[in-house]
Amino acid sequence: MTGFLLVIISITEYGCKHEPVIPTESPETCDMENISFASTIEPVLKNNCYGCHSSITPNGGIDLTDFNVLAELVVNGKLSGVINRETGYSPMPPGFALDSCTVKQIDRWIADTAATIIGDCDTLNVTYTGTVYPILQANCNSCHSGTSPAGGLDFTDYDQLAIIAQNGALMGSIQHLEGFSPMPQNADVLDDCSIAQIGIWVRDTTYTPPGGGNDHPCDPDTAYFQNQVLPLLISNCATSGCHDAASHEDGVILVDYTSVMQTTEVKPGDPFDSELYKVLIEDEGDEIMPPAPASLTMGQIDLVKEWIQQGALDNSCDDCDTTNVTFSASVWPALETNCMGCHSGATPAGNIPITNFNEVFEIANNGKLLGSIRHNIGFSPMPKNGTKLSDCKIKEIEIWIADGTPNN
């Protein structure tokens, strides 16, 4: 097998216990439509299986945090056999059975995954920009784009695509189901892998309206290098004395995509074989990055992991939204990603901490926040080690301040 990913963020040394974590089930609460590895399967494995089947010496030599191992169990039927407690299989978890809803969800995921798990078809890390859009661009957009798209449907418009994905027309057409116009119109049906990937995206996506309306709108399931990962690295790592261009500590420079890919060991698709990710999850010693007392949050570490899993692309999207500006969704993410690396810890830069709402509230109301991000004369331009925030991000912060700096 090639091209498969390791799918767990970090491996914790659990004791070999089986204390069931069994969700309450009722027919109304068993969701069979929104099933994904990250949100559905991995939590079950982590709570019920990783205690014995992880770490250096997993029971039976089966390390479920290694996707190659998990994939083999899916293909040979053993995963379904043990959770369904079938004759001839050791019942898992031993001592108690998973509830019927969880078993059905895992079986559904197995059915989605097993058909395409052999070969190079990735059904676990499906994103709009990295997976779905390229398929549509190669097979559909020649007709469904431009000033007069076929059927009035412009597939380069995310909002239009979301409508037919939600109402079933997209899957009906690409599967050539009765009652739908078969697509592609003048070609054979799409390959099984492409259909499976689009189907997973349709089922797992919430279709959050994109902010920009360009060919590659922001997908909530995609990690974007330019929007999210690079500002995080610059704020926390590419500082003077560490990994900026002048210091290049240990030969590592983290100021742009080229330097990240050339000076760090990033293996697209495999975070656990990527030095950039491994240093973030170190729990002791000199290798952990950023060095103490600074540290990334688990959410930020997860973001780097997801970016590598999704191919470590030099991608970006237009995430500008000046209509629905809030502190939690607009202001805080920008500051957390671009500023908090320097403005946190025991000795925050300029003695100005930016770690919570109250601290941001203070600099927003005394003028320092806007003065710095606008690069006004008399203020220290921020972010210090990176490029100026986009005009849209500055506008969002301006709107939030003009609205009275609410904690919303």
Evaluate if pTM is beyond 0.75.
Answer: no
Domain shared by 15 and 100, yes or no: yes
CA pair distance 6, 273, nearest whole angstrom: 9
- Each residue's pLDDT expressed in tens, for the chain with a length of 408 residues: 333 333 322 333 333 444 444 444 444 578 887 777 777 888 888 888 888 888 777 888 888 877 667 777 876 678 888 888 888 778 888 888 899 899 888 888 877 766 555 456 776 677 777 788 888 888 888 888 888 888 888 888 777 888 888 788 888 888 777 778 888 877 677 887 788 788 777 776 655 544 333 334 577 778 888 888 888 887 777 666 677 667 677 788 877 888 888 888 888 888 888 888 888 887 665 556 666 555 677 888 888 888 888 888 877 777 677 777 888 777 887 787 777 767 777 777 778 887 788 888 888 888 888 888 888 888 888 777 667 777 888 888 888 888 888 888
Distance set, CA 192 to CA 198, 204, 255, 381 (Å): 10, 18, 40, 52
**Residue 71 belongs to some domain of the structure:** yes
Domain shared by 236 and 196, yes or no: no
SS3 (DSSP) at 1:
coil
**Residue 149 belongs to some domain of the structure:** yes
CA pair distance 340, 354, nearest whole angstrom: 6
What letter would DSSP give residue 168? T
How many structural domains does the chain have? 4
**Residue 318 belongs to some domain of the structure:** no
**Residue 273 belongs to some domain of the structure:** yes
Residue span of the structural domain in which 46 resides: 1-124
Domain shared by 139 and 158, yes or no: yes
Domain shared by 9 and 120, yes or no: yes
**Residue 217 belongs to some domain of the structure:** no
| Domain end (from 250, 275, 309) | 309
**Residue 209 belongs to some domain of the structure:** no
Contact criterion met (CB below 8 Å) for 215 and 156: yes
Domain shared by 285 and 372, yes or no: no
Domain shared by 14 and 64, yes or no: yes
